Amino acid sequence: MYKFIFSLSAMILALGVTVAVDVEARPVTYTLRTATDGKIGGVPFARAEVTFTFVGDTQNIETQQSTIGKPIYVNSLGQSTVTIVEGGKITVARVDANQLYVRYDTGTGIVSFGSQKIGPTYPVALGCEGKFFDFAPTTVPDCSVGDWSFGNYYGTFGVFSDFVDYGTADAIADAENYPADIIYYSSQTLAMVPPSLARSGVLTGSAHVCAGSYVAGPVGSRAAVCPIEASSAIDTDQGPLYFQDISADGPGGAMGIQVGGR
Amino acid sequence: MSTFSRRVAIAILLRSAAVGWLLFAANCALAVPAIYEATVFTDVHLNGRLYPKVDLRLTFLGDTDDIELARDANGNVVSQNTFWIAKGHASFSFHSSGRTISGKFPDGEIFIALDTEWGGVGFGTHGTNVFEPTYPLAFDSGSIYRFAVGSADLTTPVTVGGHAWSCVNFLSGACSPPIPLKTTEMGDLVVEQLFTQLDPSHPGKFTGSYSGSLNRGTFSISLGTRDN
């Protein structure tokens, strides 16, 4: 069935349109977890366990065309919640409708919870590359390319190789763009990485939690910090919600996709 | 005893009492209940049944007064940089097909370990009489590294994240088959190591103790109880 879906995706991409392509309607839950900082209802939280959850249906997944011709999958119809655990205190915030969506750019290998108000990689994105965020060799806007872009293990751009930060989303993009790199991943690993938002699996990578680009942190203390608060809040039943990585210190994150069986 | 000697002796006694009191007070101040939690998306087997790609959460309820240098199965100190809490109650939970499945481990099966030299922290077990700090679930790299190598003490409330390992025989550079963990009522639990990055020049081994795992997870410390 997936061959059919992706064949259909390719045809639609060729036509340059955005349309839902998963012909089978199944409930799906996306759960992304990381450690980060922010503020909810005016109360700051720091180095908290934060879980983003989006409950939707695979029939609402849309496919867009990336600049490098690979599909970008977006699921924007569903219910989002954010669970913040800090020092044993648990806050569950129900996000207002039409605020957040789930996005998987298979070209860059970046998976994210995007905001209708801010952009596709805020509040959280996994697998981003950035100059200060992840020591990219040139000044590139954060999250414009994936971690794998500036080097693989032994390094097409080996001087800047940052394979230590690779997650599963990086692995599949790396293997596809540098076919020689497939020797670094078992067939089992690659087979388990979901190729879209319509299949159960796990997408992981370095976590980017910033409504902009990171900057260098204080000398001797941190690699990078997010210098700005988002210009708009995420509206929730617990008050306005902002994310800004100040002390989380590059934790990485993981998103589980569970199709069916809710 | 001369008057001078008596004064010296009294001074020493008072000083000793003061130091003892300070140590006692410090211990009292540190001795608080603590909750350690770890999360990861991975495959688990429970009582022989596979549950794929579940959102696994491990929990350990301990007391910071029990933090000490880690010891192997023979009672020998592992290193001067590896700390643990071996006394406590450990449990697990995950969601599958719309329901939550949870259970407890027998006391003593699971410990919390922290390596302040190489930067790792997580839930360990003794396996077959071998100290296994990276199974069932431990983390390194990411923010774990700076936490663990920096001022980590297992007493500071924090959530950190990094590469996730469920790896038996981690130091060999290749994970051995996972160890079935006894639970009190649910049968054996097995946690799989998913998503490894391989070293093609050393077949069967992963690329490194940080980069070898492509999976990620979180580790949290909370003080007090969940309800406070």
Note down pLDDT in tens along chain A; length 262 residues: 333 344 444 444 444 445 555 458 999 999 999 999 999 999 999 999 999 999 999 999 999 988 778 899 999 999 999 999 998 899 999 999 999 999 999 999 999 999 999 999 999 999 988 766 555 555 678 888 888 776 554 444 444 455 667 899 988 888 888 888 888 888 888 888 999 999 999 999 999 999 998 888 776 665 688 999 999 999 999 999 999 998 777 789 999 999 986 5
> pLDDT-based confidence at B201, cuts 50/70/90?
confident
Question: For chain B, what is the total number of helices (H) and then of strands (E)?
Answer: 2, 12
- Tell me whether residues B158 and A47 touch, CB distance under 8 A: yes
Residue A15 maps to a domain: no
| Cα separation, A100 vs A117, whole angstroms | 9
- Tell me whether residues B218 and A251 touch, CB distance under 8 A: yes
| Cα separation, B199 vs B57, whole angstroms | 30
By mean pLDDT, which of A11-25, A27-41, B71-85, B106-120 is the weakest? A11-25
Phi, psi of B160 (to 5 degrees): -130, 165
Residue A159 maps to a domain: yes
From A10's Cα to the closest Cα of chain B, the distance in A is 28
- The candidate with the shortest Cα–Cα distance to B118, out of B69, B73, B171, B175, is B171
CA atoms within 13 A on the CB side of B177: 3
| Cα separation, A211 vs A122, whole angstroms | 6
Between positions 1 and 60 of A, the ones with CB within 8 A of B are: 31, 33-35, 47-49
Q: Specify which residues B100 forms β-bridges with.
A: B95
| Cα separation, B120 vs B114, whole angstroms | 6
CB–CB contacts below 8 A, A to B: 143
Residue A84 maps to a domain: yes
From B207's Cα to the closest Cα of chain A, the distance in A is 8
Q: What is the largest CA-CA distance in chain B?
A: 82
What is the signed CA dihedral for B33, B123, A166, A69, rounded to 10 degrees?
-80
Structural element, H or E, at residue A13: helix A2-15
- Tell me whether residues B160 and A47 touch, CB distance under 8 A: yes
- Tell me what the pLDDT averaged over chain B comes to: 84
Check if the beta carbon of residue A205 is closer than 8 Å to that of residue A168: yes
Residue A6 maps to a domain: no
DSSP A114: E
Question: Which residue among B55, B95, B196 sits closest to A189, beta carbon to beta carbon?
Answer: B196
Other beta carbons within 10 angstroms of residue A94's beta carbon come to: 12
What are A225's two structure tokens? 């910090």
Q: What is the pLDDT of residue B87?
A: 96
What are B84's two structure tokens? 């643990």
Phi, psi of A118 (to 5 degrees): -105, -50
Instruction: Please report, in angstroms and rounded to a whole number, the separation of the first and last CA atoms in chain A.
Output: 22
Q: What is the pLDDT of residue B226?
A: 63
DSSP A179: G
Q: What is the pLDDT of residue A134?
A: 59
From A211's Cα to the closest Cα of chain B, the distance in A is 20
Structural element, H or E, at residue A225: strand A224-225
> pLDDT-based confidence at B27, cuts 50/70/90?
very low
Q: What is the pLDDT of residue B24?
A: 37
* Cβ partners under 8 Å of residue A11, min gap 6: none
From A236's Cα to the closest Cα of chain B, the distance in A is 23
Residue A63 maps to a domain: no
Examine the predicted complex and report whether its ipTM is higher than 0.85.
yes
Q: What is the pLDDT of residue A6?
A: 40
* Cβ partners under 8 Å of residue B6, min gap 6: none
Collapse the DSSP code of B163 into the 3-class scheme (helix H, G, I; strand E, B; otherwise coil) and give the result: strand
Find which of A204, A214, A222 to mutate to test the B interface (most B CBs within 10 Å of its CB): A204
Q: What is the pLDDT of residue A150?
A: 67
The average pLDDT across B147-167 equals 87
Chain A residues lying within 8 Å of B195, measured CB to CB: 168, 171, 189, 192-193, 202, 204
| Cα separation, A76 vs A54, whole angstroms | 9
Chain A residues lying within 8 Å of B200, measured CB to CB: 183-184
Range of the structural domain that residue A112 is part of: 26-58+76-259
What are A105's two structure tokens? 């750019």
Is the per-residue pLDDT at B220 higher than 80?
yes
Apex CA A105: angle with CA A81 and CA B137, to 5°? 60
From A137's Cα to the closest Cα of chain B, the distance in A is 20
Q: How far is CA B13 from CA A37, B5, B23, B26, in A?
A: 49, 12, 15, 20
Residue A19 maps to a domain: no
CA atoms within 13 A on the CB side of B45: 13
Find which of A90, A124, A134, A164 to mutate to test the B interface (most B CBs within 10 Å of its CB): A164
**Higher-confidence position of B208 and B54:** B54
The answer to whether residue A91 neighbours chain B at the CB level (below 8 Å) is no
Instruction: Please count the structural domains in chain A.
Output: 1
Structural element, H or E, at residue A2: helix A2-15
| Cα separation, A200 vs B111, whole angstroms | 31
Residue A34 maps to a domain: yes
Residue A114 maps to a domain: yes
Chain A residues lying within 8 Å of B55, measured CB to CB: 31, 33, 256
Is the per-residue pLDDT at B56 higher than 60?
yes
- Tell me whether residues B157 and A86 touch, CB distance under 8 A: yes
What are A6's two structure tokens? 């992706």
Check if the beta carbon of residue A51 is closer than 8 Å to that of residue A80: no
